[in-house]
Amino acid sequence: MGPADLEEIIGALRFEGNPAVLVGPGDDAGVYLVNDTAVVETVDVITPVVNDPFLFGAISANNSMSDIYAMGGRPVAALAVAGFPSCDYGPAVFREIVRGALHSLQRAGAVLVGGHSFDDPELKFGLSVTGVIDRDRILRVSGAKEGEVVVITKPIGIGILTTALKGGRLTDEEIQPAVEWMLTVNETASSLALRAGATACTDVTGFGLLGHALNMVRGAEIDFVVEHKAVPVLEKVREMIDAGMVPGGAYQNLSFLAGKVDFSPDLSEEEKLLLSDPQTSGGLLLTLQEEGLALFRESSLFFSVIGRVVKGTGKIVVQ
Quote the pLDDT of residue 85: 84
Q: How many domains does the chain have?
A: 2
Quote the pLDDT of residue 91: 81
Same domain, yes or no: 205 and 277: yes
CA gap 284, 205 in Å, rounded? 9
Same domain, yes or no: 218 and 92: no
Same domain, yes or no: 82 and 155: no
Segments forming the whole domain that contains residue 289:
149-318
Quote the pLDDT of residue 1: 46
CB 216 within 8 A of CB 309: no
Last-in-domain residue among 103, 133, 163: 133
Q: Which of 308, 167, 147 is nearest to 243 (CA)?
A: 167
Q: How large is the angle between the packed helices 91-108 and 53-70, nearest 10 degrees?
A: 40
Q: Does any domain span residue 144?
A: no
Q: Does any domain span residue 275?
A: yes
CB 277 within 8 A of CB 157: yes
- Residue 203 has a CB neighbour count (10 Å cut-off) of 29
User: Looking at residue 242, which CATH number applies to its domain?
Assistant: 3.90.650.10
Q: Does any domain span residue 68?
A: yes
Q: Does any domain span residue 140?
A: no
Q: Does any domain span residue 139?
A: no
Last-in-domain residue among 99, 133, 167: 133
Quote the pLDDT of residue 203: 97
Q: Does any domain span residue 127?
A: yes
CA gap 125, 97 in Å, rounded? 8
Quote the pLDDT of residue 11: 59
Same domain, yes or no: 171 and 280: yes
Residue 107, SS3 per DSSP = helix
Same domain, yes or no: 108 and 165: no
Same domain, yes or no: 104 and 58: yes
Same domain, yes or no: 191 and 299: yes
Per-residue pLDDT of the chain (319 residues; tens, 9 = 90+): 455 565 566 656 555 678 899 998 888 899 999 999 999 999 999 999 999 999 999 999 999 999 999 999 999 999 999 998 876 777 888 899 999 999 999 999 999 999 998 888 999 999 999 999 999 999 999 999 999 999 999 999 999 999 999 999 999 999 999 999 999 999 999 999 999 999 999 999 999 999 999 999 999 999 999 999 999 999 999 999 999 999 999 999 999 999 999 999 999 999 999 999 999 999 999 999 999 999 999 999 999 999 999 999 999 999 9
Same domain, yes or no: 65 and 124: yes
Same domain, yes or no: 236 and 110: no
Q: How far is CA 50 from the centre of its chain?
A: 17
Same domain, yes or no: 176 and 291: yes
Q: What are phi and psi of 305, to 5 degrees?
A: -85, 115
Same domain, yes or no: 104 and 69: yes
**pTM as predicted:** 0.93
Q: Does any domain span residue 298?
A: yes
Q: Does any domain span residue 71?
A: yes
User: Looking at residue 59, which CATH number applies to its domain?
Assistant: 3.30.1330.10
Last-in-domain residue among 133, 167, 199: 133
Same domain, yes or no: 310 and 184: yes
